[in-house]
């Protein structure tokens, strides 16, 4: 064995991975019922909404969301067909294609964000006290990439409603 910390590190990783997978399955079910989108669709819309001019290069979006470039193409095709996302070619380099959130995409994001936030509040509220949740946030914040792109679209849209969740 490499050292005595390996079993703890492996246990922490497996628990984090299993919890993420279980939460993603549950959130997919709820988001699809609320707006016919997946957690990954939601994340794409959230990232685009946060991006300057509401647009990102498709490859950068794939990297940010954690999908392959071909997976991002398929995902964006669905969002484009629904009218939530459009595409725009770069004026200086026609090889570069941006994904651009539309007004319909922003509306869909805000609508589904309320459902998603309520689910998050319920899930964490059932399992953690306020102090434990603060500790969890601090601990997870130490992991690589943990603070990349943290935002709350529903809070921006309606701070009063978000505070009451």
pLDDT at 1 over 60: no
Q: Mean pLDDT over residues 123-131, rounded?
A: 96
Give 150's pLDDT tier (boundaries 50, 70, 90). Answer: low
pLDDT at 135 over 70: yes
Give the pTM: 0.79
Q: Compute CA distances 37 → 11, 143, 149, whole Å.
A: 32, 28, 20
Domain ranges for the chain: 6-163
Architecture label for domain 6-163:
Orthogonal Bundle (1.10)
- pLDDT digits 0-9 by tens, 41-65: 999 999 999 999 999 999 999 999 9
DSSP letter, residue 53:
G
The confidence score (pLDDT) of residue 151 equals: 55
Beta bridge pairs of residue 57? 98
Location of structure tokens 């988001």 = 31
The confidence score (pLDDT) of residue 5 equals: 82
Residues 6+ apart with CB under 8 A from 62: 68, 69, 71, 72
The confidence score (pLDDT) of residue 82 equals: 95
pLDDT at 165 over 80: no
Beta bridge pairs of residue 89? 97
- pLDDT digits 0-9 by tens, 70-80: 999 999 999 99
The confidence score (pLDDT) of residue 152 equals: 52
């Amino acid at each position: 064995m490499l050292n005595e910390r390996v079993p703890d590190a492996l246990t922490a990783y497996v628990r984090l991975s299993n919890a993420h997978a279980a939460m993603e399955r549950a959130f997919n079910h709820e988001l699809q019922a609320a707006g016919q989108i997946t957690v990954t669709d939601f994340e794409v819309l959230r990232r685009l909404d946060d991006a300057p001019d509401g647009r990102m290069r498709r490859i950068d979006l794939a990297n940010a969301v954690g999908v392959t470039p071909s997976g991002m193409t398929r995902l964006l095709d669905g969002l484009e067909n629904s009218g939530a996302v459009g595409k725009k070619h770069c004026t200086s380099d026609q090889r570069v294609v941006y994904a651009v959130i539309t007004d319909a995409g922003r509306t869909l994001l805000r609508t589904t964000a309320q459902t998603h936030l309520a689910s998050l509040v319920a899930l964490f509220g059932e399992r953690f006290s306020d102090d434990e949740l603060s500790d969890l946030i601090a601990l997870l914040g130490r992991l690589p990439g943990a603070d990349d792109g943290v935002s709350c679209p529903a809070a921006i849209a309606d701070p009063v409603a978000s505070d009451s969740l």
